[in-house]
């Protein structure tokens, strides 16, 4: 339990890897606020003692009442300051923590972003971070006071009468044990709940994304049944977590309140036998209320740590995932844009066989190279390795004579552009999305890139032209329109190496030829690599590399590969439309 408390107080600074002076100041103010919160009770005790002794002095009474109001005013003033400090530092620190997680994710190998982890990652960036932020901002100030009040009051009463002070605290070990056991049990239950939440989120996304397919195939009911089962499990685990603490919380509250009952019983016995003065007994009865009440509330609040601990572990799990090694400065700079792969081998995480094995090749500037092969042959993996979205397991890849691992991230990305088949657009205007390729691009440069990507005409036909909002993920545009914007973005970057992962897959035939012409214009002084499934689009390629089961099995131009009657020829013949006899 002590470890959980420590982790709660340090979670924001640990995740953000920075500090905020407002945080310790807010915690200190919360502790001092608790001290002043005991002042009214001390004044009340003195007033009651005067009343019972029959020595009521108006001046003294007025002084004690004023002291009580002053203590209350200082408590409120410090409490407001503590809350402001803790809340502002919380938002600042967790803002930095979110940016740190986002920056860390940006450096992870692409293999980490598997479908099995999509729910975990979404949970960390949303649920876990929000949960930790809520616990921090709303309970850290309360916990500092909730710990300080019993500490101050307990030490004070122990100093007044150690015998009765120990009696007052006699049930606390049992209360602490019950609370620790309940937190341990709830921690395990919460771990299961978070896993079920992740599965439910995945089931909901799968259902929404696949609802069209389910309906067209007549399997709508089956898809709904899988979702229904996931939500039933979620309801069952949620109820389990919410109901489990009830008996333990009741036992904890009973043990805390039993301490007060024991104090009254033993104190009355001591007064009756003359071993304790009635004034001291009265002091304990009045002031101990500020000892027991915060302990009960504190135990209730600590149960929230069952969520915080699990969320913290999952968030730290993402941050502790090894990133691709990155250099702040390149060890050397590429001379030109030639590409050389030497005995490259690569396996995806969890795969039983290599995705690429023994691949060696050289690509020269001013050439267009096409990658072809059956599905699963390793084409996209090879392109992603060239962009260093992964690192090779064996061998090396050189750009301009320099190993990619010896280049800084900035130097590498300045020289390499990737146009993926899965187009990603960001919320904002079309102009904003194209400008991602070059942040300081002029309007003329943006228009030129759009024209070369055959996007200018359809953009101008939109009501707001280049200021048109694309919607979330480009939802307001067709697949072909999104792809042409993505191509314009890469053309604007004007990198030395341009990688196209089936760049014309969603483009209509009328625009495909124009885009192929734009790609041809890029070749001068650049190294262009194109993944192609429609082989008719790469007949003019200077070089065609044929992959099969992760190996480079053929290479050459279109006529020579057809003449070999190998893998490429079989792929080509399979794509030709058979002639229909009259």
Take residue 186 and report the two structure tokens written for it.
Answer: 């709830």
Give the DSSP H or E segment for 369: strand 367-372
pTM of the model: 0.64
What average pLDDT does the chain have?
81
- Domain-located, residue 247: yes
- Determine the average pLDDT of the residues in 66-77: 89
User: For 395-407, how does the pLDDT look when each residue is reduced to its tens digit (9 = 90+)?
Assistant: 999 999 999 999 9
**Maximum pairwise Cα distance, the chain:** 125
Residues 225 and 260 in one domain: yes
Residues 311 and 347 in one domain: no
pLDDT at 9: 62
- Domain-located, residue 327: no
What CATH number is associated with residue 471? 3.40.50.300
Q: Is residue 114 over pLDDT 60? A: no
Q: Say which range, 110-119, 232-241, 291-300, 421-430, has the weakest mean pLDDT.
A: 110-119
Distance CA 499, CA 531 (A): 8
Q: Is residue 240 over pLDDT 50? A: yes
Residues 346 and 258 in one domain: no
Beta bridge partners of 531: 371, 501
pLDDT at 220: 55
Distance CA 238, CA 547 (A): 50
- Domain-located, residue 330: no
Quickly state the pLDDT bin for 112 (edges 50, 70, 90). low
- Domain-located, residue 275: yes
Q: What are the Cα distances from residue 46, in Å, to 69, 140, 151, 162, 375?
A: 14, 33, 21, 20, 86
User: For 479-495, how does the pLDDT look when each residue is reduced to its tens digit (9 = 90+)?
Assistant: 778 888 888 888 888 88
Beta bridge partners of 396: 342
Residue where one domain finishes, among candidates 256, 287, 319? 319
Quickly state the pLDDT bin for 424 (edges 50, 70, 90). confident
Distance CA 306, CA 185 (A): 9
Q: Say which range, 143-147, 170-174, 569-573, has the weakest mean pLDDT.
A: 143-147
- Domain-located, residue 333: no
Residues 218 and 253 in one domain: yes
- Domain-located, residue 220: yes
pLDDT at 8: 58
- Domain-located, residue 159: yes
Residues 12 and 58 in one domain: yes
- Determine the average pLDDT of the residues in 378-387: 90
- Determine the average pLDDT of the residues in 234-260: 81
Residues 277 and 379 in one domain: no
Distance CA 572, CA 546 (A): 12
pLDDT at 37: 77
pLDDT at 443: 92
Distance CA 483, CA 478 (A): 9
Rounded percentage of the chain residues whose pLDDT exceeds 70: 82
Residues whose CB is less than 8 angstroms from the CB of residue 470 and which lie 6 or more positions away in sequence, other chains included:
425, 426, 427, 428, 429, 430, 433, 476, 477, 482, 485
Q: Is residue 428 over pLDDT 90? A: no
Residues 374 and 286 in one domain: no
pLDDT at 33: 82
Quickly state the pLDDT bin for 548 (edges 50, 70, 90). very high
Closest CA to 47 of 56, 37, 39: 56
Instruction: Considering only residues 389 and 476, tell me which one the structure prediction assigns the higher pLDDT.
Output: 389
- Domain-located, residue 529: yes
Q: What are the Cα distances from residue 509, in Å, to 345, 358, 421, 513, 514?
A: 36, 37, 16, 7, 9
Residues 313 and 348 in one domain: no
Q: Is residue 526 over pLDDT 90? A: no
Distance CA 157, CA 166 (A): 9
Q: Is the dihedral of CA 313, 148, 84, 41 positive or negative?
A: positive
Distance CA 193, CA 314 (A): 13
Residues 260 and 375 in one domain: no
Take residue 493 and report the two structure tokens written for it.
Answer: 């970057």
Phi, psi (degrees; rounded to nearest 5) at 512 = -60, -45
What CATH number is associated with residue 284? 1.20.1560.10
pLDDT at 31: 78
Instruction: Considering only residues 254 and 309, tell me which one the structure prediction assigns the higher pLDDT.
Output: 254
Q: What are the Cα distances from residue 555, in Å, to 354, 372, 429, 496, 538?
A: 21, 10, 42, 23, 13
Q: Is residue 544 over pLDDT 80? A: yes
Q: Is residue 411 over pLDDT 80? A: yes
Describe the crossing of helices 289-302 and 129-160 by its angle, rounded to 10 degrees.
160
Q: Is residue 115 over pLDDT 50? A: no
Give the DSSP H or E segment for 19: none
pLDDT at 409: 84
Q: Is residue 345 over pLDDT 70? A: yes
User: For 156-201, how does the pLDDT look when each residue is reduced to its tens digit (9 = 90+)?
Assistant: 888 889 999 999 999 888 888 887 777 777 767 776 776 777 777 7
Q: Is residue 341 over pLDDT 90? A: yes
Q: What is the Cα 535 distance to its own chain's centre? A: 41
The single-letter DSSP state of residue 361 is E
User: For 19-28, how does the pLDDT look when each residue is reduced to its tens digit (9 = 90+)?
Assistant: 888 888 888 8
Residue 322: count of CB within 10 angstroms of its CB: 9
Residue where one domain finishes, among candidates 258, 285, 319? 319
Give residue 32's domain range.
Answer: 2-319
Residues 278 and 365 in one domain: no
In the chain, how many domains are there?
2
Residues 400 and 282 in one domain: no
Residues 345 and 304 in one domain: no
Distance CA 569, CA 171 (A): 85
- Determine the average pLDDT of the residues in 525-530: 86
Q: What are the Cα distances from residue 337, in Å, to 379, 415, 538, 543, 555?
A: 20, 8, 21, 16, 20
Residue where one domain finishes, among candidates 319, 348, 364? 319
């Amino acid at each position: 339990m002590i470890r959980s408390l420590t982790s709660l107080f340090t979670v924001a600074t640990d995740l953000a890897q920075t500090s905020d002076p407002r945080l310790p100041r807010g915690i200190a103010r919360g502790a001092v606020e608790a001290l002043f919160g005991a002042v009214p009770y001390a004044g009340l005790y003195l007033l009651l003692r005067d009343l019972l002794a029959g020595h009521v002095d108006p001046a003294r009474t007025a002084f004690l009442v004023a002291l009580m109001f002053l203590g209350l005013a200082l408590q409120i003033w410090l409490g407001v300051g503590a809350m402001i400090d803790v809340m502002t530092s919380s938002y600042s620190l967790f803002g930095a923590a979110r940016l740190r997680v986002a920056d860390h994710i940006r450096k992870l190998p692409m293999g980490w972003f598997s479908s099995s982890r999509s729910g975990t990652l979404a949970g960390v960036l949303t649920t876990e971070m929000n949960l930790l932020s809520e616990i921090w901002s709303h309970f850290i100030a309360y916990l500092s006071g909730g710990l300080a009040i019993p500490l101050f009051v307990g030490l004070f009463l122990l100093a007044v009468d150690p015998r009765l002070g120990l009696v007052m605290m006699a049930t606390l070990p049992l209360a602490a044990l019950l609370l620790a056991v309940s937190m341990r049990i709830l921690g395990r239950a919460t771990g299961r709940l978070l896993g079920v939440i992740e599965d439910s989120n995945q089931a909901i996304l799968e259902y929404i994304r696949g609802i069209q397919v389910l309906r067209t195939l007549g399997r709508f009911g089956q898809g709904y049944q899988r979702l229904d089962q996931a939500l039933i499990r979620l309801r069952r685990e949620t109820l389990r977590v919410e109901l489990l603490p009830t008996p333990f919380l009741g036992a904890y509250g009973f043990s805390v309140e039993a301490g007060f009952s024991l104090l009254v019983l033993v104190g009355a016995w001591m007064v009756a036998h003359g071993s304790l003065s009635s004034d001291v007994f009265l002091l304990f009865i009045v002031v101990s209320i500020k000892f027991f009440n915060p302990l009960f509330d504190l135990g209730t609040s600590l149960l929230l740590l069952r969520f915080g601990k699990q969320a913290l572990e999952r968030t730290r799990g993402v941050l502790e995932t090894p990133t691709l090694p990155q250099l702040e400065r390149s060890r050397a700079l590429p001379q030109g844009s030639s590409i050389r792969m030497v005995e490259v081998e690569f396996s995806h995480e969890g795969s039983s066989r290599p995705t690429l094995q023994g691949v060696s090749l050289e690509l020269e500037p001013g050439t267009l190279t096409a990658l072809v092969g059956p599905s699963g042959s390793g084409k996209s993996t090879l392109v992603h390795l060239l962009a260093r979205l992964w690192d090779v397991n064996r061998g090396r890849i050189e750009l301009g004579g320099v190993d990619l691992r010896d280049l800084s991230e900035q130097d590498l990305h300045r020289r390499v552009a990737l146009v993926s088949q899965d187009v990603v657009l960001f919320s904002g205007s079309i102009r904003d999305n194209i400008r991602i390729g070059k942040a300081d691009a002029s309007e003329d440069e943006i228009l030129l890139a759009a024209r070369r990507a055959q996007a200018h005409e359809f953009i101008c036909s939109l009501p707001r032209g280049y200021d048109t909002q694309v919607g979330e993920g480009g939802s307001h545009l067709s697949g072909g329109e999104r792809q042409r914007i993505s191509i314009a973005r890469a053309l604007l970057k004007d990198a030395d190496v341009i990688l196209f992962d089936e760049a014309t897959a969603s483009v209509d035939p009328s625009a495909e030829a124009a885009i192929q012409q734009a790609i041809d214009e890029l070749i001068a002084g650049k190294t262009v690599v194109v993944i192609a499934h429609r082989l008719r689009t790469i007949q003019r390629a200077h070089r065609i590399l044929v992959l099969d089961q992760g190996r480079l099995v053929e290479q050459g131009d279109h006529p020579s590969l057809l003449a070999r009657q190998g893998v490429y020829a079989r792929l080509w013949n399979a794509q030709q439309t058979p002639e229909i006899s009259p």
